[in-house]
Amino acid sequence: MSSSTAGWRGSRVDASSSSNKKYDAVVIGGGHNGLTAAAYLARSGLSVAVLERRHLVGGAAVTEEIVPGFRFSRCSYLQSLLRPSVIQELELLRHGMKLLRRNPSSFTPCLDGRCLTLGSDAELNYSEIAKFSVKDAMAYPRYEEQLLKFCKFINSLLDSHPPEIRRDAQSLMVQVKDKLEKSAFWSHMIQQMLTMGQKDMLDFIDLVVSPAAKVLNNWFETDVLKATLATDAVIGSMATVYSPGSGYVLLHHVMGETDGECGVWSYVEGGMGSVSLALSNAAYEAGATILTNAEVCLSPLDISFILNDFIVLEDGKEIHSSVVLSNATPYKTFLELVPRDVLPEEFLLSIKNCDYSSGTTKINVAVDSLPQFWCCKNDTDRPGPEHLGTIHMGSGSLMEIDLGYHDAVNGMASKRPLIEMTIPSVLDKTISPPGKHVINLFVQYTPYMLTEGSWQDPNIREAFAQRCFSMIDEYAPGFSSSIIGYDMLTPPDLERVFGLTGGNIFHGAMNLDSLFLMRPVKGWSDYRTPLKGLYLCGSGAHPGGGVMGAPGRNAASVVLQDIRSIAKTTSK
């Protein structure tokens, strides 16, 4: 905690001790996007309150001590996508966020005794890939260069709200200004497209609309390389590498950066909760109030939610505001928090029919020793390069990933799960006791509903966890015996604990029909909603999921724009 706490203008309190109060803006949900929006609004001079139903802020970006002495990034576990604009403008490094860069970034052990290690070192990448294919080793730098070029093209879209058609009545001056802004936006996009050239533009379109398998098959011949890269295309989604549009998800996961280098992922010292803590510190310093244990009452909420300028907490306390930003999923916001009879039926149907499916299970494991991969022949207990980055298991080929997907589509947990293992305690000494380690397992594919049994059954839960541990034993013998304790979050758990509808970590699928002007639904992509004064600021809005902060920042910008427009109108 900063020593300057006494000088901060904001406050952090438990909702049970708060009194009724009027604010300029209220944010429902203290996830990272909600905190981002609150910080920007407070910095602009508004009085802001954040209502978080849990005992701690952060949403899915939290650090929790589940096993005594071990602090887990319980849901999200890596940083790269957080927008540089948010980091710089909110001064997150000053507020305590410290990034721990990983190199190498990726390690894939093979059951035949070989392995593939990738990172930012071009010579390492060449020598590692050349063990499997010299042709692929030569193609890999061109592949990376192309993705970097496409990321630069998309970059400008992330930090601005989509050019949505305004539905509310506007003065002639506002209409002219709005048309000029949209013309400038599309003119800039066309200019960028022309700069790319026709070939690159066609390659870009091919990437975002194609199955990741097609993209990777066109570039490479090595199964293990293609499968390693393909995990970025399916991670967190109920989709296969053969799903059209999965190429965009692959691009989405490489468009981030660490210390200015594109595509580089990092750990955060103290876990992902440190990102949320830095954001909350920025909001506090700007004057925001954050209320924990402050669940917004689901019933009875009536039209006064917006028109009479107040919302009701679960304990009956009223929080008054004329502006509300929801960091909850679109489904939860419009089908659970807002009375259905005040929203257009067509809009509600579109929200209901969004894809909230999930194939993700997160397992947080405390171990008394590092896993030793037999393909590395490491005879010491000291960390090796294989422990630093993301470790891919169960992804020996594109077909192997696809088989796991089809298990889940048929209502079964994957027989051979796709597992991404990370060991942040190798670089972060603050999260585990000396000599022991924190391990994150991001596992696919697990359906929300099982055709036989239920995730509530302890025997089913334990059987699946042991299936994952036994599979890791194939690559790292003795892993299971090193486990001290673990915490498992299946899709229903992710929904219950973090409010993620369907367990979807992105607040809704990142399909092509759910991006940009189509996110969350067609006609409502600019964070505004059919209820005047209610805005979306979470990952269900543009530009989507991941710990980005962009939806929160962009939504705050739209709110401020509307408030200034109203102020000008009323002053005349």
Q: What is the pLDDT of residues 309-320, one digit of tens each?
A: 667 787 778 888
For residues 353 and 55, the answer to whether their CB atoms sit within 8 Å is no
pLDDT digits (tens, 9 = 90+) for 111-151: 999 999 999 899 999 999 999 999 999 999 999 999 988 98
- Whether 300 and 400 map to the same domain: the answer is no
Neighbours of 126 (CB within 10 A): 15
- Is 189 contained in some domain? yes
Q: Which residue has the higher pLDDT, 399 or 16?
A: 399
Going by C-alpha positions, the residue among 314, 294, 333, 310 that lies closest to residue 23 is 310
Domain count within the chain: 3
- The reply to whether 384 and 305 lie within a common domain is no
Residue the block writes with tokens 């992902």: 272
Confidence (pTM): 0.93
97 inside domain: no
How many other CB atoms sit within 10 Å of the CB of residue 568?
Answer: 12
Distance CA 72, CA 328 (A): 23
Is the torsion defined by CA of 57, 61, 63, 66 positive or negative? positive
- Identify which of 235, 48, 162, 38 has the alpha carbon closest to the alpha carbon of residue 541: 162
Query: Are the C-beta atoms of 366 and 67 separated by less than 8 Å?
Result: yes
- Among residues 267, 282, 311, the one where a domain terminates is 267
Q: What is the DSSP string of 241-268?
A: TTSTTHHHHHHHTTS-EETTEET--EEE
Q: Which residues pair with 79 in a beta bridge?
A: 266
Residues 262, 290, single domain; the answer is no
Co-location of 428 and 403 in the same domain: yes
Q: How many CA atoms lie within 13 A of 557 on its CB side?
A: 12
- Looking at the structure, tell me whether residues 350 and 370 fall in a common domain: no
**Residue 260 and residue 126 share a domain:** yes
The answer, yes or no, to whether the previous bond of 433 is cis (omega within 30 of 0) is no
Specify which residues 99 forms β-bridges with.
268
Domain boundary among 478, 498, 518: 498
Side-chain half-sphere exposure of 140, counting CA atoms within 13 A: 25
In this structure, what CATH number is given to the domain that contains residue 345?
3.50.50.60
Round to whole Å and give the CA distance between 411 and 445.
10
pLDDT (tens digit, 9 = 90+) per residue, 209-242?
999 999 999 999 999 999 999 999 998 889 999 9
Helix (H, G, I), strand (E, B) or coil at 555: helix
Looking at the fold, whether 342 and 365 belong to one and the same domain comes out as: no
Q: Evaluate whether residue 110 is within a structural domain.
A: no
19 within domain boundaries: yes
Total residues found in the chain within this entry: 572
Q: Answer yes or no: do 424 and 307 share one domain.
A: no
Closest CA to 322 of 474, 534, 68: 534
Place of tokens 């990102």: 275
Q: Which carries the bigger pLDDT value, residue 437 or residue 17?
A: 437
Report whether pLDDT(412) > 50.
yes
**Residue 100: inside a domain, yes or no?**
no
How distant is the alpha carbon of residue 30 from its chain centre? 14
Confidence of residue 1 (pLDDT cuts 50, 70, 90): very low
| Average pLDDT over every residue of 241-245 | 92
Mean pLDDT is lowest, of 257-261, 321-325, 372-376, 504-508, for 257-261
Q: Both 373 and 340 in a single domain?
A: no
Chain segment 155-199, per-residue pLDDT in tens: 888 998 899 887 766 667 777 777 888 888 888 888 888 888 888
Domain limit, last residue, from 446, 475, 498? 498
Q: Which residue has the higher pLDDT, 35 or 341?
A: 35
| Residues contacting residue 236 through CB under 8 Å, at least 6 positions apart | 358, 360, 442, 504, 505, 506, 545
Q: Are 159 and 141 in contact (CB under 8 A)?
A: no
Q: Return the amino acid letter for 21.
A: K
Same domain? 174 vs 302: no
What average pLDDT score do residues 366-382 get?
88
Specify whether 233 is located in the same domain as 153. Answer: yes
The reply to whether 284 falls in a domain is: yes
92 in any annotated domain: no
Q: Could you give phi then psi for residue 348, rounded to 5 degrees?
A: -60, -40
Range of the domain at 174: 116-267
Condensed to tens digits (0 to 9), the pLDDT of residues 89-109 reads 999 999 999 999 999 999 999
Cα(541)–Cα(521) distance, rounded to whole angstroms? 9
374 domain-assigned? yes
Domain shared by 236 and 122, yes or no? yes
Q: How many Å apart are CA 263 and CA 253, to the nearest integer?
A: 8
> pLDDT, tens digit, for every residue of 532-563?
889 999 999 999 999 999 999 999 999 999 99
3-state SS record for 6-60: HHCCCEEEEHHHCCCEEECEEEECCEHHHHHHHHHHHHCCCCEEEECCCCCCECC
- Residue-averaged pLDDT of the chain: 90
In this predicted model, what pLDDT tens digit does every residue of 435-450 receive, in sequence order?
999 999 999 999 999 9
